[in-house]
Structure 1
Amino acid sequence: MITTESSVDELNERLSKLEEDKCKVSTRNFRPNLSIEGTKPFDEDWWLDVKIGEAEFACFKPCTRCIMTTVDPDEGRFLKNMQPFRLLKSYRLSPPGKLRNLYEDAPVFGVNVIIKKEGRIHVGDKVFVRYKPSPF
């Protein structure tokens, strides 16, 4: 599973504007295998294939989220008022159609990938992405 730092930053910006539910999350709330820097927020919605170092991946579906995103990874306690899960449900649902029928009201954040070619990856490796014509 891959997330992007800019998506987490965008979510934190929205969380900071909430009146009563202000909190901050980190990439660790989403438990990705890889976190990518230097993209636009939610750029991963558009990814078809990803190459990092010697490894190649195919993006096969958006990652649906549950209340585990509300657990502070340092404290092991739930964050205030079910955030960021509640906020994600307000703007990160799959578009109407097949995916919405499948995922219903589970928000999406990040992308699930499968390995097409095994290889070494190093921190700081360039990331190459092939895009699809529409998100999800």
Structure 2
Amino acid sequence: MLTTESSVFELNERLNKLKEDKCKVSTLNFRSNISVKGTKHFDEDWWNEVKIGEAIFSCYRPCSRCIFITVDPDTGFLMKNMQPLRLLRTYRIAPKGKLRDFYGESPIFGVYMILKKEGRINVGDKVFVRKKLSPF
């Protein structure tokens, strides 16, 4: 599972603008295996294939989010008023069609990947991406 730091940053900006329920999240809230920096927010929605170091991954579907992202990774306690899940439900629901039928009202954040070619990856490796013609 991959997320991008810019998507987390964008979410934090939205959370900071809330009159109530302000909180801050990190990539740890999303339990991603790989976190990439240096992209546009939600650019991962467009990714089809990713090469990191010697490894090649195929992005096969977006990751839907549940209540676990509301758990503070430092304390283990639920964050107030179900944030950031509530906010993500306002703008990160799958588009109508097969994805909406599959995910329902669960918001999308990050992407699941399948390993196509094994290889070593390291912190700081360049990330190369082959994009799709449309997101998701």
Show CA shifts across 1:64-87 (max 9, x none): 000100000000000010000000
Aligned AA (2:30): F
1:36 deviation in Å? 0.0
Task: Answer yes or no: is 1:92 the counterpart of 2:82.
Answer: no
Aligned AA (2:5): E
Q: Please report the TM-score for the alignment, with normalisation by the length of structure 1.
A: 0.99
**Separation in 1, partners of 2:20, 2:10:** 18
Aligned AA (2:113): V
1:16 deviation in Å? 0.1
Task: Answer yes or no: is 1:104 the counterpart of 2:104.
Answer: yes
1:27 deviation in Å? 0.3
Aligned AA (2:36): I
How many residue pairs were aligned?
Answer: 136
Aligned to 1:70: 70
Aligned to 1:132: 132
**Separation in 1, partners of 2:124, 2:26:** 19
Q: Please report the TM-score for the alignment, with normalisation by the length of structure 2.
A: 0.99
1:55 deviation in Å? 0.2
Alpha carbon RMSD of aligned pairs, Å? Answer: 0.3
**For residues 1-136 of structure 1, what are the structure 2 equivalents within 5 Å?**
1-136=1-136
**Separation in 1, partners of 2:35, 2:123:** 10
1:102 deviation in Å? 0.7
**Separation in 2, partners of 1:106, 1:122:** 32
**Separation in 2, partners of 1:95, 1:118:** 33
User: Where in structure 2 are there 5+ consecutive unaligned residues?
Assistant: none
**Separation in 1, partners of 2:80, 2:42:** 24
**Separation in 2, partners of 1:18, 1:8:** 16
User: Where in structure 1 are there 5+ consecutive unaligned residues?
Assistant: none
Aligned partner of residue 12 in structure 2, secondary structure: helix
**Separation in 1, partners of 2:102, 2:78:** 27
1:15 deviation in Å? 0.1
Aligned AA (1:96): K
